[in-house]
Amino acid sequence: MTEDRPRIGFIGLGIMGKPMARNLLKAGYTLVVFNRSRPALEELVRDGAQSARSAREVAERSDVVITMLPNSPDVETVILGENGVIEGAHAGMIIIDMSSIEPLVSQRIAAELAKSGVEFLDAPVSGGEPGAIQGTLAIMVGGKEAIFEKCRPIFEAMGKTIVRVGNVGAGGFAKLANQIIVALNIVALSEAFVLAKKAGLDPEKLHQAIAGGLAGSRVMDAKIPMIINRNFTPGFKIKLHDKDINNALTTAAGLQVPLPLTSLVKQILSALIADGKGELDHGAIIQFHEQLAKIEVRKDN
Question: CA–CA separation, 124 vs 101, rounded Å?
Answer: 8
Closest CA to 298 of 193, 187, 165: 193
| Dihedral-angle region of residue 205 (phi above 0 means left; psi in -120 to 50 means alpha; beta otherwise) | alpha
Please report, for residues 190, 199, 285, 290, 296, the alpha-carbon distance to residue 206 in angstroms, rounded to integers and kept in the order given. 13, 12, 19, 17, 15
Of the residues 26, 115, 160, 175, only one is catalytic, namely 175
Active site residue 299: no
Closest CA to 282 of 203, 179, 206, 204: 179
Task: Work out the number of other CB atoms within 10 angstroms of the CB of residue 229.
Answer: 11
Amino acid type, 180: I
Catalytic residues: 175
